[in-house]
Amino acid sequence: MEWEPVIGLEIHAQLKTRSKIFSGTSTAFGAAPNTQASAVDLGLPGVLPVLNAEAVRMATMLGIAIDAEVAGRSVFARKNYFYPDLPKGYQISQYELPIVARGHLDITLGDGTTKRVGVTRAHLEEDAGKSLHEDFHGMTGIDLNRAGTPLLEIVSEPDLRSAAEAVAYMKRLHALVRYLGICDGNMQEGSFRCDANVSVRPRGREAFGTRAEIKNLNSFRFIERAINHEIERQIDLIEGGGTMIQETRLYDPERDETRPMRTKEEANDYRYFPDPDLLPVEIDRAFIEEVRATLPELPDAKAARFESAYALAAAEAAVLTGSRELADYYETAVEHSGGQAKLCANWVTGELAAALNRSERNIDDCPVGPRALGGLVARIHDGTISGKIAKQVFEAMWAGEGDADAVIESRGLRQVTDSGAIEGMVDEVIAANPEQVEQFRAGRDKVLGFFVGQVMKASGGKANPKQVNELLRKKLAG
């Protein structure tokens, strides 16, 4: 039987506010334990929450960007459960009336087609603290610095049909929240986390199968592997005559498998009810329009502009707009290259991307800045150096030897265009290789390549290849 996976994602994006969602405590990452846990975050007796305006603005930005309804009235509710990293014994979240509902996101599939993925809702809530399981004499340590950090939980429709689609969706959303500047997207630090609901059904059947929820997916690689693993597990289980049970599973990246969470499977009864410490949040049209006016250019619009303004292929434009930082880098490089858009695109997606990859760096800590790269491309275009020498110059720039002009100067890599000098080298090479001259004259055109190579070698790669070619043809014909 052919099986079809059905996948929906719940993504938690930490919002990049300065202070927490319900208190004036800093959200900065990495502070000593519990030094960023104020009376409100600790849930001391008598404290009360007051909502951060910036969290509301950021949620509104996302709502607009995914073409969703931003609710005129949304309500905070309490989700009640006991856990040591949840100081109040309830999480302030949104339940019946979320701030954002019914949006969508378009993803590009492997075959180049586009698929629209529904976003059911996005709601504001507070993050929990962290449990540290290192051994404190058999005890667990609780750090509440993260408690109260604003989260936007973005819930997709079960529209995804493969692990690859799930990853494409997640990457798209990741790019979007970073474009919007509402989340730093740092997956190692947990700023962007994902739970996946996965089920399988016989292809053609409409009803969904029983799903499992996979928690704790904090890299794109893990998500793909975990979902694929889970799909296989479910198919094996069902084909082996077993029955799926609805459960929560944890992905273990070390063993590359999912396993049921060990918490006793009591039915969770969260006893949601409207939080009486908070009043309904109202958002009017004027506010939405005000936020809309401040939205940056979003990935789709930017890619379309790149295609037309820089005459790029769709695939190239998609890569270059994959993140706001990369797109900004590219545009700055083009500006400093004298408008060499195509050549800049080749360099950014080629040499630069490879170098970043090799050194495991991100574009924002790239040792060769966009102005410098643009300068290098300009020197290729004006013939100061060849494309081949340019790679050498790039490596030197990467190593910190200065900008393109400085490297070309200090290493003496300026292309030789003096026809007298080139002619001398051509003459020497012809004189030294009589046998090959014969072959060429006998009609073996390929030998020209040999001569070009010899002349370039003699020039240390600096001779203008076009001039070398022309001169050789003239002289050898003579």
Partner 1 sequence: MHDKSIAEMSAALAGREVSSEELTRHFLARIGELDGALNSFITVTPEKALEQARTADERRARGEAGPLTGIPMAHKDIFCTRGVRTSCGSRMLDNFVSPYDATVVERMSAAGMVMLGKLNMDEFAMGSSNETSYYGPVHNPWQQDHVPGGSSGGSAAAVAARLVPAATATDTGGSIRQPAALCGVTGLKPTYGRVSRYGMIAFASSLDQAGPMTRSAADAAWLLGAMAGFDERDSTCLEHPLEDYPALLDRPLQGLRIGLPREHFGEGLDAETAAAVHQALAVFEAAGATVKEISLAHSMLSVPAYYVVAPAECSSNLSRFDGVRFGYRCEEPVNLEDLYKRSRGEGFGAEVKRRILVGTYALSAGYYDAYYLKAQKVRRLIKDEFGRAFDEVDVIMGPTTPGPAFRIGEKTSDPVAMYLSDIYTIAANLAGLPALSVPAGLVNGLPVGLQMVGNYFDEGRLLGIAHRFQQETDWHRRTPPGFA
Partner 2 sequence: MTLDRNDVESIAHLARIAIDEADIPDYARDLSNILDLVDEMAREDTADVLPLAHPLDAVQRLRPDIVTEEDRRALFQAGAPAVENGLYLVPKVIE
Binding site for partner 2 (CB under 8 A): 17-19, 23-26, 32-39, 42, 44, 50-56, 75-76, 82-84, 131-133, 136, 138-144, 250, 261-263, 266, 269, 271, 274, 276, 278-282
- What residue ranges bind partner 1 (CB under 8 A)? 39, 42-51, 78, 80, 82, 84, 87-90, 142, 267, 269, 271-273, 276-279
Partner touching 421 among partner 2, partner 1, none, CB below 5 to 8 Å by kind: none
Structure tokens at 409: 């100067």
Q: Which does 478 bind (CB under 5 to 8 A by kind): partner 2, partner 1, none?
A: none
Instruction: Assign 460 to helix, strand or coil.
Output: coil
Q: Which residues contact 260 (CB under 8 A, 6 or more apart)?
A: 247, 248, 249, 250
Residue 54 interaction partner, one of partner 1, partner 2, none, beta carbon < 5-8 Å per kind: partner 2
User: Which of 102, 142, 104, 96 has the alpha carbon at shortest distance from 121?
Assistant: 102
- To the nearest whole angstrom, how small is the minimum distance from the Cβ of residue 116 to partner 1? 34
* DSSP E strand stretches across 149-306: 150-156, 192-202, 212-217, 247-252, 257-260, 273-274, 281-282
Q: From the CB of 175, what's the least distance to partner 2, in Å?
A: 24
User: Whole-number minimum distance, CB 101 to partner 2, in Å?
Assistant: 18
- Residues 200 and 5 sit within 8 Å (Cβ to Cβ): yes
Pairwise CA distance, residues 141 & 25, whole Å: 21
The entry of partner 2, partner 1, none that residue 47 binds, CB within 5 to 8 Å by partner kind: partner 1
Residue 80, sorted as left (phi over 0), alpha (psi -120 to 50) or beta, turns out to be: beta
Least distance from C-beta 238 to partner 2, angstroms?
A: 27
Q: Which does 141 bind (CB under 5 to 8 A by kind): partner 1, partner 2, none?
A: partner 2
Q: For the CB of residue 264, give the shortest distance to partner 1 in the complex, in Å.
A: 9
**Closer to partner 2 at the Cβ: 142 or 238?**
142
Residue 402, contacted partner among partner 2, partner 1, none, CB below 5-8 A by kind: none
Q: Which residue, 243 or 294, has its beta carbon nearer to partner 2?
A: 294
> Which of partner 1, partner 2, none has residue 78 at its interface (CB below 5 to 8 Å by kind)?
partner 1
Closest listed residue to residue 217, CA positions, set 176, 185, 250: 250
230: closest CA among 203, 254, 248, 208?
248
Beta-sheet strand order (sheet of 3-14): 69-70, 100-108, 114-126, 150-156, 3-14, 192-202, 212-217, 247-252, 257-260
Select 84 or 449, whichever has its Cβ closest to partner 2. Answer: 84
- Which of 35/359 has CB closer to partner 2? 35
Contact criterion met (CB below 8 Å) for 6 and 12:
no
Cβ distance to partner 2 smaller for residue 244 or 250: 250
Least distance in angstroms from the C-beta of 122 to partner 1: 22
Helix boundaries (H) for 195-323? 220-239, 285-294, 299-309, 314-320
Torsion of CA 236, 237, 241, 242, to 10 degrees: 180
Residue 461 tokens read as 């790669």
Nearest distance from C-beta of residue 190 to partner 2, angstroms: 16
Burial 319-356 (b: 16+ CB within 10 A, else e): bbbbbbebbebbbbbbebbeebbebbbebbbebbeebb
Q: How far is the CB of 28 from partner 1 (least distance, A)?
A: 22
Residue closer to partner 1 (CB basis): 2 or 82: 82
Using the Cα atoms of residue 258, residue 264, residue 265 and residue 270 in order, give the sign of their dihedral. negative
Residue closer to partner 1 by CB (options 138, 443) is: 138
Kindly state the smallest distance separating residue 151's Cβ from partner 1, in Å: 19
Of 164 and 261, CB closest to partner 2: 261
